[in-house]
Chains A and B, each alone.
Chain A
């Protein structure tokens, strides 16, 4: 079946502009995660959605970052007034959330470059 998809695959923007990154999770997966992968720094947790519960936003680095998940499926990560340090690969993952040891399935990522 289809895996997690993300769009765009690459995004180049100018400092100060807003960007939106999209994630389509695997159908039936109620948990959705956003991570940021920077060179040499592993994966940094950003935000977690589970069903209709309030999202866990504890990893968002600043108030310029926000995310929504509409209808329990597609999610959009928005970065306002982008800065050069926002340049990274943004990864989305989904999982069945019946237990907290279910593995996460990752999308291919969006590579964001802020000039």
Chain B
């Protein structure tokens, strides 16, 4: 079985401050990890993914995420938040070997960036 936990329903941050959206995962095997963002009344958009190699992954709109195998985490970060980053963020995991076709999503974290 595979699962994803996003422990915070909402994260509030001031514009210009760094932001972190937390994600931990559980899989039997090695994971592929993804972050997606959902803006109001729009579909999910891919942000970034970890496949293998460098634990720090850089993605769209200045976002990055760090894969930490010992802590089974894949937290999303951005050095300086923008009001336009306000959206719903989803972490997702897929096991590399023998996991079938299922991408398992977390319940989402609402990010609110204020002036």
Contacts and interface: CB of A to CB of B under 8 A. Distances in A.
Interface residues of B, number: 26
A72 interface: no
Interface residues of A, number: 26
Contact of A107 (B41, B43, B100, B107): B43
B51 A101 contact: yes
Closest 4 CB pairs of A and B: A106-B43, A42-B107, A43-B105, A103-B46
Interface of A: 3-4, 31, 33, 35, 40-43, 45, 48, 50, 56, 58-59, 91, 93, 100-101, 103-109
30 contacts: A3-B43, A33-B103, A40-B9, A41-B107, A42-B90, A42-B106, A43-B44, A43-B92, A43-B105, A45-B102, A45-B103, A45-B104, A48-B101, A50-B101, A56-B100, A56-B102, A58-B100, A59-B102, A91-B44, A100-B99, A101-B94, A101-B96, A103-B34, A103-B46, A104-B46, A104-B103, A105-B46, A106-B43, A108-B42, A108-B43
